[in-house]
Amino acid sequence: MAEKEIKKRRWKLEHWQQIAVLLAVYDVFAVNLSYLAALWLRFDFKFSNIIGLNYTEMWLRFIPIYTVVCLVVFWLFRLYQSLWRFASYTELRKIIFATIVTTVFHTAAITVILGRMPISYYLMGAVIQFVLVLGIRFSYRFVLLLKAGRRTNREKRHNIMLIGAGEAGQMILRDLMSAKESNDKVRCIIDDNSNKWNRFIDGVRVVGGRETIIENAKKFQIDKIYMAIPTATAQQRRDILDICKETGCEVKNLPGMYQLASGEVTVQELKDVDIEDLLGREPIKVNLEEIFRSLTGKVIMVTGGGGSIGSELCRQIASHKPKQLIIFDIYENNAYSIGLELKEKHPDLNLMVLIGSVRDSRRVNEVFEKYKPEVVYHAAAHKHVPLMEDSPCEAIKNNPAGTYKLAYAAAHNGCKRFVLISTDKAVNPVNIMGASKRICEMIIQAFAKHVAEGRVNEIPALYEHYEEKQDRLMPSEPVPCETQFVAVRFGNVLGSNGSVIPIFKEQISKGGPLTVTHPDVIRYFMTIPEAVSLVLQAGNYAKGGEIFVLDMGTPVKIDDLARNMIKLSGLRPDVDIPIVYTGLRPGEKLYEEKLMMEEGMKTTPNHLIHIGKPIPFDENAFLSQMGSLMNAAYEEDDEEIRSIVGKIVDTYHPAEVEVINEKLEEKIGEPLQRA
Catalytic residues: 425
The answer to whether 433 and 643 are in contact (CB under 8 A) is no
The answer to whether 130 and 96 are in contact (CB under 8 A) is yes
Nearest to 327 by CA among 268, 373, 263: 373
Which residues make beta-bridge pairs with 421? Answer: 488
The answer to whether 481 and 574 are in contact (CB under 8 A) is no
| DSSP string computed for 478-515 | ------EEEEEEE-EEETSTT-HHHHHHHHHHTT-PEE
- Distance between CA atoms of residues 278 and 563, nearest Å: 12
Who's near 448: CB < 8 A, 6+ residues apart? 484, 485, 486, 544, 545
In this structure, what DSSP letter does residue 617 have?
A: -
Q: Which helix (H) or strand (E) holds 450?
A: helix 432-452
- Distance between CA atoms of residues 63 and 72, nearest Å: 14
Who's near 484: CB < 8 A, 6+ residues apart? 416, 417, 418, 448, 451, 542, 543, 544
- Distance between CA atoms of residues 37 and 121, nearest Å: 9
The answer to whether 596 and 370 are in contact (CB under 8 A) is no
In this structure, what DSSP letter does residue 117 have?
A: -
| DSSP string computed for 144-177 | HHHHHHHHHHHSPPPEEEEE--SHHHHHHHHHHH
Nearest to 163 by CA among 210, 110, 106, 101: 210
Backbone torsions φ then ψ of 489, nearest 5 degrees: -120, 130
In this structure, which amino acid lies at residue 137? R
SS3 70: helix
- Distance between CA atoms of residues 449 and 367, nearest Å: 25
CA angle, 113 then 115 then 117, to 5°: 130
The answer to whether 267 and 178 are in contact (CB under 8 A) is no
The answer to whether 532 and 312 are in contact (CB under 8 A) is yes
The string over 347-373, giving b where at least 16 C-beta atoms fall within 10 Å of a residue's C-beta and e elsewhere, is eebebebbebbbbbbbbbbebbbebeb
Q: How far is CA 436 from CA 179, 379, 383, 411, 510, in A?
A: 56, 14, 10, 21, 36
Helix-then-strand count for the chain, H and E: 24, 22
In this structure, what DSSP letter does residue 557 have?
A: E
Strands 609-612 and 602-603: antiparallel
